[in-house]
Structure 1
């Protein structure tokens, strides 16, 4: 047993703590993208939405003194980004991918420009629940110190899984995502449904950004996101557009991201930094494994394509 009192148990504890901390933005971005793609639209602009949401949440929290007002403000800006993306993409032959990349760059640039005055000031942090308060071991306490947004994300994943199957809104979303013609035959306006779905998806992605700036790592800077918005799209494919699958896959990605720091925490001083690339390698493997020119992905919305 080492000086921390947990010995090699420090590695799984650090991975558990890291999985919870790192996975939370993935949870919200992937759930938001699941809603969007279930309607038959893809949004690659969520990286820009995530970063702009992080900046907005931090700025509003600094000004108001309330982290929850920051989260609410981030949700509003994310919805606006989603509405802009959805409105542009409703036009015939508009390329969803190109619009998403353009809005991603716009969101990143605008966040960096408007966020410069808020790099130094300290904002209040989002609260967490100390489930490990019973333990005297600091590593266990840290691993079981769970942020409220993580718990909200877990509940939201279960609610969405149920809603997709048992509510009128969920059924309408699935119909629109599977067949535009069938939706129109039923008197449903596919453009309106996709517009609202993209707005909701953007709003959820911005919550992930608020988590980054107001809890972990808990500051605002231009490098706050490491492509998490883009990786979440691969995560949605891996989860087969299933909200519960998104939650579990987000934990997997979070654990992969925590592997490098976990090894460093137990004294691995050489080569551990290579494990920081694990989430990106995992993303690449998932995209390769799920690519096929001859078969459609199981669970993929039938109307999901690059152009409308």
Structure 2
């Protein structure tokens, strides 16, 4: 492979890491906030699929991709709110409710989204960060999803807010010691419901990125398990928003290897490289199965440290 082909391949992987990693970023940030409050939401796969359908439908009917993005986030928040309310009931399991939510969100999306499979909706615009270059490869690689800078800003806001603000302290307290939160007069259920709902809104933005940017259409196989992968990604990131950004780009880069190789004329093993995100998920779970490593940074109320 020539030096030029190698350079094009690296640019394609970098650009693909941002394109593919943007939904991972939003879903992992939403799950990070949820788990910081002491609740786990395995239903984010359903949230992601339903939000993608709602965002696509909203953009198609309104003619505005940004109204679609807002609708996607709102629908994600509504499903997450349902999860939060149900999990606040006595003797209700977060895990079982999350699985039910995943099935509910996916089922509603498939049923309501059937009329949306053929139409085309207006897409989220790209930011042409490569406009300074005359190279089409550079311009293509640096055409960034307009939602990606918002994801980076959210990661910075969450990282700062969880550490330096009162609401961040309350969320972390609910996740680390519900007794301490109650002793200070806070409603643990209320904090967790609010955090879960906000996390669902953030995850819903990832759904909008799927249907309105990359791949930029609505179909029933759109998510490919990204909502479930995000749970493993949060563990890998040790429940830290900035690390969620790095982990999302890592998973995005893994998912972009196959298309990048195909773009430079290497088609052998294409489907094998498309499996890289799932192989990486398994590798991360195996590598973090040691309790001394997995529990570092984990909110105590999640139950994984008991």
Report the TM-score, using the length of structure 1 for normalisation.
Answer: 0.96
Counterparts of 1:280 and 1:296 in 2: how far apart (Å)? 19
* Equivalent in the alignment of 2:169: 171
CA contact (8 A) 2:255 2:274 kept: yes
Query: What do residues 78-103 of structure 1 show as CA deviations (whole Å, max 9, x unaligned)?
Result: 11111110011112321111110111
CA contact (8 A) 1:290 1:297 kept: no
Query: Equivalent of 1:147, from 145, 148, 152?
Result: 145
Question: Helix, strand or coil: the match of 1:125?
Answer: coil
* Equivalent in the alignment of 1:116: 114
CA contact (8 A) 1:129 1:148 kept: yes
* Equivalent in the alignment of 1:271: 269
* Equivalent in the alignment of 1:235: 233
State yes or no: 1:60 paired with 2:37. no
Query: Equivalent of 1:103, from 88, 101, 104?
Result: 101
Question: Helix, strand or coil: the match of 2:132?
Answer: coil
Counterparts of 2:70 and 2:20 in 1: how far apart (Å)? 21
Question: Helix, strand or coil: the match of 2:301?
Answer: coil
Counterparts of 2:141 and 2:291 in 1: how far apart (Å)? 43
CA contact (8 A) 2:28 2:234 kept: yes
Query: What do residues 250-304 of structure 1 show as CA deviations (whole Å, max 9, x unaligned)?
Result: 0000000011111222222222321111110110111122123577610000111
Query: Equivalent of 2:48, from 43, 47, 50?
Result: 50
Query: Number of matched residues?
Result: 304
Counterparts of 1:276 and 1:171 in 2: how far apart (Å)? 40
CA contact (8 A) 2:288 2:294 kept: no
* Equivalent in the alignment of 2:189: 191
CA contact (8 A) 2:174 2:191 kept: yes
Query: What do residues 37-75 of structure 1 show as CA deviations (whole Å, max 9, x unaligned)?
Result: 000000000000001000001111111101111111111
Query: What do residues 221-267 of structure 1 show as CA deviations (whole Å, max 9, x unaligned)?
Result: 11111100000010000000000000010000000001111122222
Counterparts of 1:60 and 1:259 in 2: how far apart (Å)? 32
CA contact (8 A) 2:182 2:188 kept: yes
Report 1:22-41 matches (<5 A).
Answer: 22-41=20-39
Shift of 1:6: 3.4
- Structure 1 stretches of 4+ with a deviation exceeding 2 A read 292-296
